[in-house]
């Protein structure tokens, strides 16, 4: 399997590095080598906001919302760099892997975008990332698929809301999409390991709301995987995380056998 450096070679980007924004000529793979190496070296960890909202699933993040990861995510999400979906999706897969034991189908459920947000961004950014994560997981031996089981209703801008108001808004903005719970010919969604995927976790209100909606439909969520965490007051050190092997690169990590990641920090 190609490493993240190889995936980044496919990008067509301006002269500025997508990871740090600095003009470095010539660029290698569309980003400077320092940023590419930094993304490649990220190690997923368990995280939780403090305090966590009620019903928050255990959560694994690829990295902190800072540095090259933050810049690459913003370039993808807000500036139309859609080809970044492939390397970012590969990174997301490394956060899914500790939550999804082998031997059982795994279904990724992306947190949906509203129709307005999808129009503004020329598509649902999390649906693209989930599809790329599934591609990498399948290459690593998982029976993985995507289910767009949820749809998003219009909601107020969360930046102006309190923590409690965010929880209410998140709860009211999600509903089960009728007739869309299956994800493959092999299994129904209720027989899979369900992992919710999102780009960023801040207060955890959205992930908790997604879990509640799915459980109302008798679908049990195993955990949530995100690219970046903005609040990392409570983390579990790598040495205390049983079942998560030492990571060399994306291909090696996804090809190693994992058991259940153990008790969540959340």
| Nearest to 46, CA basis, from 198, 263, 252 | 263
Domain count, the chain: 1
Tally Cβ neighbours within 10 Å of residue 80: 12
- The answer to whether residue 64 is domain-embedded is yes
- The answer to whether residue 169 is domain-embedded is yes
- The answer to whether residue 35 is domain-embedded is no
- The answer to whether residue 203 is domain-embedded is yes
Burial per residue of 221-236, b for 16 or more beta-carbon CB atoms within 10 angstroms, e otherwise = bbbbbbbbbbbbeebb
Residues in a beta bridge with 165: none
CA 112 – CA 210 distance, rounded (Å): 10
pLDDT digit string (tens) for 185-240? Answer: 334 777 899 999 999 999 898 999 999 988 888 889 999 999 999 954 444 444 43
pLDDT digit string (tens) for 151-185? Answer: 877 766 666 667 677 667 776 778 787 654 444 43
- The answer to whether residue 78 is domain-embedded is yes
- The answer to whether residue 24 is domain-embedded is no
CA 151 – CA 114 distance, rounded (Å): 7
- The answer to whether residue 243 is domain-embedded is no
Residue range(s) defining the domain that contains residue 155: 43-235+248-255
- The answer to whether residue 240 is domain-embedded is no
Provide the whole-model pTM. 0.75
Q: Return the structure tokens found at 37.
A: 């190496």
């Amino acid at each position: 399997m190609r490493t993240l450096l190889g995936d980044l070679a496919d990008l067509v980007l301006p002269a500025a590095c997508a990871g740090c924004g600095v003009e470095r000529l010539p660029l290698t793979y569309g980003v400077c080598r320092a940023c590419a190496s930094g993304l490649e070296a990220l190690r997923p960890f368990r995280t939780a906001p403090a305090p966590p909202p009620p019903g928050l699933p255990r959560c694994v993040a690829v990295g902190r919302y800072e540095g090259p990861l933050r810049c690459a995510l913003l370039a993808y999400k807000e500036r139309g760099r859609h080809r970044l979906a492939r390397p970012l999706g590969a990174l997301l897969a490394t956060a899914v892997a500790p939550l999804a034991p082998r031997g059982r189908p795994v279904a990724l459920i992306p947190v949906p975008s509203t129709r307005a947000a999808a129009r503004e961004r020329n598509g649902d950014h999390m649906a693209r990332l989930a599809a790329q994560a599934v591609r990498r997981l399948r290459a690593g031996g998982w029976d993985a698929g995507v289910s767009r089981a949820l749809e998003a209703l219009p909601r107020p801008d969360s930046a102006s809301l309190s923590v409690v108001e965010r929880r209410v808004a998140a709860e009211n903005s999600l509903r089960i999409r009728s007739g869309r719970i299956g994800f493959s010919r092999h299994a129904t969604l209720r027989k899979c390991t369900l992992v919710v995927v999102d780009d960023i976790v801040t207060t955890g209100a959205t992930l908790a709301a997604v879990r509640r909606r799915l459980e109302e439909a008798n679908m049990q969520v195993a955990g949530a995987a995100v690219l970046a965490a903005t609040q990392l007051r409570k983390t579990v050190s790598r040495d205390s995380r049983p079942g998560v092997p030492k990571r060399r690169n994306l291909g090696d990590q996804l090809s190693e056998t994992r058991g259940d990641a153990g008790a969540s920090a959340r």
